[in-house]
Amino acid sequence: MIDVYFWPTPNGHKITVFLEEAGLPYRIVPVNIGKGEQFEPSFLKISPNNRIPAIVDHEPKGGGAPVSVFESGAILVYLAEKTGKFLPAEGPARYDVLQWLFWQVGGLGPLAGQTHHFNKYEPERIPYAIDRYVRETARLYGVMNKRLADRPYLAGEYSIADMACYPWVVPHADQKQNLDDFPHLKDWFERIRNRPAVQRAYERGEREAKAPPLDEEAKKILFGQGADSTAR
Ligand SMILES: N[C@@H](CCC(=O)N[C@@H](CS)C(=O)NCC(=O)O)C(=O)O
Q: For each successive 10 residues of the chain (232 residues), what is the average pLDDT?
A: 97 98 98 96 96 98 97 98 98 98 97 93 91 97 98 98 98 97 98 98 97 92 88 58
3-class DSSP state for residue 230? helix
Cis, peptide link before residue 53, omega less than 30° from 0: yes
Alpha carbon 53 to chain centroid distance? Answer: 8
pLDDT at 124: 87
- Asked if residue 55 has its Cβ within 6 Å of ligand 1, the reply is no
- Asked if residue 104 has its Cβ within 6 Å of ligand 1, the reply is no
pLDDT at 80: 98
Of all protein residues, the one whose alpha carbon is nearest to atom 4 of ligand 1 is 51
Q: Ligand 1 centre and the CA of 117: distance in Å? A: 13
Q: Ligand 1 centre and the CA of 25: distance in Å? A: 23
Q: Which residues contact 148 (CB under 8 A, 6 or more apart)?
A: 154, 184, 185, 187, 188
**Which numbered atom of ligand 1 lies nearest the CA of 70?**
20
- Asked if residue 47 has its Cβ within 6 Å of ligand 1, the reply is no
- Asked if residue 172 has its Cβ within 6 Å of ligand 1, the reply is no
pLDDT at 122: 85
**Which numbered atom of ligand 1 lies nearest the CA of 71?**
20
- Asked if residue 209 has its Cβ within 6 Å of ligand 1, the reply is no
pLDDT at 136: 97
Q: Which residues pair with 67 in a beta bridge?
A: 57
Q: What is the DSSP letter of 149?
A: G
DSSP state letters, 155-203: BBB--HHHHHHHHHHTTGGGGT--GGG-HHHHHHHHHHHT-HHHHHHHH
- Asked if residue 114 has its Cβ within 6 Å of ligand 1, the reply is no
The one-letter code for the residue type at 37 is E
pLDDT at 231: 63
pLDDT at 232: 53
- Asked if residue 11 has its Cβ within 6 Å of ligand 1, the reply is yes
pLDDT at 230: 73
pLDDT at 149: 98
- Asked if residue 52 has its Cβ within 6 Å of ligand 1, the reply is yes
Of all protein residues, the one whose alpha carbon is nearest to atom 19 of ligand 1 is 72
49, burial (CB in 10 Å: exposed 0-12, middle 13-18, buried 19+): exposed
Measured from the Cβ of residue 36, the count of other Cβ atoms closer than 10 Å reads 18
- Residues 109, 131: Cα–Cα separation, whole Å: 17
